Amino acid sequence: QVQLVESGGGVVQPGRSLRLSCAASGFTFSSYGMHWVRQAPGKGLEWVALIWYDGSNKYYADSVKGRFIISRDNSKNTLYLQMNSLRAEDTAVYYCAREGGPYGGNSDIHYFDFWGQGTLVTVSS
Amino acid sequence: QSVLTQPPSVSAAPGQKVTISCSGSSSNIGNNYVSWYQQLPGTAPKLLIYESKKRPSGIPDRFSGSKSGTSATLGITGLQTGDEADYYCGTWDTSLSANYVFGTGTKVTVL
């Protein structure tokens, strides 16, 4: 069965960096696009980033562009989110999610068919 | 700030039907498929509807989706207490930069 397990969350000071990981299993990771989605405490869902199946293309929300970097290691079945210059407004549960659309993310059809359980990132001094 | 607008809450008695609207624009819903997600308290979201009206395996046919123009609708019939959750619509948006957008979210309460 498909499993996505996030790790790397924690408490970090404003301006510092943190790297999240998402370990995937139960499917051919290298064939699927992958996303990060976050949810601030008591708030709605916010999409963060998408990476194609082969890592050749990446897309970011304007709120994180230039600060966050999405990447993947298909040999390790792992997705990453490098978060730099963190701000208080980045405090959220971060979910990794599998792209359900065709062609590993290289299409106009995007949705999230499987989600991890999430990891909490708190940015506070 | 979300570009997709949903009602904050809807409610109905067990066995009844509710509908949740999702209003967008030509840069998102008007030209792309819509998906819907259910988030039970304290859990990760779960896919309910994709490509505007398709259900993943395991999702009962009490849940349905439709799209017309720049709006989409999620319907839930035969409401059950286990359906109490937050529901989000979402779609790709190509206005200024390509990105995915979620709706504001709707809390469903079973009376």
Q: Under DSSP, is residue B49 helix (H, G, I), strand (E, B) or coil?
A: strand
Token pair for residue A64? 């994180």
Decide if A38 touches B, using CB distance below 8 A.
no
Decide if B7 touches A, using CB distance below 8 A.
no
Q: What is the DSSP string of A61-113?
A: -TTTTTTEEEEEETTTTEEEEEE-S--GGG-EEEEEEEE-SSGGG-SS---EE
For chain B, 111 residues long, give each residue's pLDDT as a single digit of tens.
Answer: 678 999 999 999 999 999 999 999 999 999 999 999 999 999 999 999 999 999 999 999 999 999 999 999 999 999 999 999 999 999 999 887 889 999 999 999 999
**Residue of B44, B46, B102 with shortest CB distance to A118:** B44
**Residue of A35, A100, A118 with shortest CB distance to B50:** A100
Are A64 and A1 spatial neighbours (Cβ–Cβ below 8 Å)? no
